[in-house]
Chain A
Amino acid sequence: MGDAPKDSTLDIRLLAVATGRNPAKPRLEEEVTELFDQWHGALLRYLTTFGLSQHDSEEIVQEVFLSLFSHLQKGKARTNLRGWLFRVAHNLGLKRKEAERKAVGIAADVENLPHPALNPEEELASNRRQRQVSSILRALPEQDRRCLYLRAEGLRYREIAELLGMAVGSVAASLERSLTRFQRADQR
């Protein structure tokens, strides 16, 4: 056809329209990379609370974003991506921890490893209140600690409830319980 576009960019654009794609839309890779920039630190911090090494946590963060890429590539829901990211990271973190527990060699130690923020050298270096909060945190049940970490990362009660498989009311009760413990200790 005489009036067919010669410009290759336009050609591609027309082909894209014909196949129902819109190249003007930011590419999925870029979108995922931007989300990575936004959430990398928070996810890494959350994963280290499982007692995972930095290396393992980084690997899991990679896995999370590769899964996100597949998720979006399939055209699945984009609503509440933060909740989605933390849920996947949480599940992968648990899985990795479980695998470590089963592994030979350091198996027995993993369970006993303290919260990363709580090792003795660091405790000495920080102030009395920090030590106090740390030791209360250490004594809390795992579920209560998770509620605190996830809330600190900005998740809403409903998101935390879904992620940890508990009722919204239980999340509120858990947070209240933990915070009043911190508060009571401060009064002593």
Chain B
Amino acid sequence: MSQKESQESFHLSDRDLLLWADGELSPQRAAGIRRHLSACWTCRTRMAELEHAIADFVQCYRRELDARLPSAEGPRALLKARLAERTASSGAGRNIWLTRMRPVRAASVLAAFVLLTGVAIRLSRHGNVRSQARETYMVANLGEIPDTNLTPGATNPIGIWDVCSANVSTNDPAVPDPLKREVLKEYGLNEVAANGYEIDYLVTPQLGGAANIRNLWPQPSRNTVWNARVKDALEDRLHYLVCSGQVNLATAQREISQDWVAAYKKYFRTKEPLQEHSGRKQIGMQRRDVPFPLVAMRG
């Protein structure tokens, strides 16, 4: 038997098969493996088994996650707006072409963003830095949490008894139209853009929130992850916790006004809105043990 034949009578290791299949070998070694495989049914069977294991893993990895990958449209628009902003701020003073192009570029990118998201941004009357900051704010945060400068939250001087008495309405009082317009104006949104938003109380009146411009903000009604229904669930929960003496009223007011999304995560012990609140299928996370009843009890 020649040396070559004796080498080929040995079977290939799993490592060699895998390196070969993944194209990680030099052309010479790869050719040697191919030669061996064409002669050896045992190694071909082994290769098929390994490929089968790869396919099983990839199916497991991709099938469940892929089905739930969200559309890239919104994030794409957001990225474009952020890139345009960066280009505008970094190009000034050092690049003649960018400097000259900037007004056109900024306008076209913003126009594209307006089309994509349905958010009409008031460009003509609010060309100043402050309104640009607001626009950036709304873009960057998907409008889930209000601008804390514009909407820090405001409460009425009432106590736990008022909040928890049986005759407190569970429906938020309607916001008068002139006040709504004030809020929209403050956020630099015109009447067209306003259709995409609901004026919402930051601190809910159920928890003593005031009908005051400092406590009202335009919440996007389009279906973002942290939407109004999710916030309603948090409000119900905090109301229950306050009225059952588990959370201090002032704490509840503070937490909901500082970052209601963080408060939701904390009180539902989850990182994403629960499915029953958002109406969306969850990706990735599942509910952990929740120590309190999920359904808020009233009165």
Binding site for B on A (CB under 8 A): 12, 15-16, 18-19, 21, 23, 28-29, 32-33, 36-37, 40-41, 44-45, 48, 51-58, 61-62, 65-66, 69-70, 73, 100, 104-106, 109-110, 113-114, 116-117, 119-122, 126, 129-130, 133-134, 137, 148-149, 151-152, 156-157, 172-173, 175-176, 178-180, 182-183, 186
Contact = CB atoms under 8 A, between A and B. Distances in A.
**Which size bracket describes the interface of B in this complex?**
35 or more
B162 interface: no
A37 B77 CA distance: 11
Given A12-B101, A54-B70, A182 B53 contact: yes
Given A29-B87, A45-B69, A53 B79 contact: no
B21 to A, nearest CB: 10
A160 B10 CA distance: 30
B235 interface: no
A104 B259 CA distance: 14
B64 interface: yes
B97 interface: yes
Contacts of B65: 45, 48, 116-117
Contact of B57 (A18, A73, A119, A148): A148
A19 B95 CA distance: 8
Contact of B97 (A15, A51, A137): A15
B137 to A, nearest CB: 15
A164 B70 CA distance: 28
Interface string B21-45: 0101000000000000000000000
A100 B284 CA distance: 16
Interface of B: 14-15, 18-19, 22, 24, 49-50, 52-54, 56-66, 69-70, 72, 75-76, 78-80, 82-84, 86-87, 90, 95-97, 100-101, 109, 225-226, 265-266, 269-272, 283-286, 288
19 contacts: A12-B100, A12-B101, A19-B95, A45-B61, A51-B285, A52-B271, A53-B271, A54-B70, A54-B284, A55-B271, A66-B83, A66-B86, A109-B288, A117-B61, A119-B286, A133-B60, A152-B57, A172-B24, A173-B15
Contacts of B288: 109, 113
Nearest to B58: A152
A149 B76 contact: no
A121 B220 CA distance: 32
- Residue from the set A65, A137, A151, A176 with the largest chain B CB neighbour count within 10 Å: A176
A-B residue pairs, 3 tightest by C-beta: A116-B284, A182-B53, A105-B266
A12 B104 CA distance: 13
Contacts of B284: 48, 51-54, 57, 116
Contact of A148 (B50, B61, B70): B61
Given A41-B72, A117-B60, A117-B65, 18 more contacts: A28-B87, A33-B76, A33-B83, A40-B75, A45-B65, A62-B75, A65-B83, A69-B83, A104-B266, A110-B271, A116-B285, A126-B63, A130-B60, A137-B60, A152-B57, A179-B18, A182-B53, A183-B52
A179 B15 contact: no
Contacts of B59: 130, 133
A186 B72 contact: no
Contacts of B72: 36-37, 40-41
Contacts of A180: 14, 50, 53
Contacts of A70: 86
A182 B90 CA distance: 51
Contacts of B271: 52-53, 55-56, 100, 106, 110, 113
A41 B57 contact: no
B82 A186 contact: no
B97 A12 contact: yes
Nearest to A44: B69
Contact of B80 (A19, A33, A56, A121): A33
Nearest to B49: A183
Contacts of A122: 64
A156 B24 CA distance: 8
B227 to A, nearest CB: 12
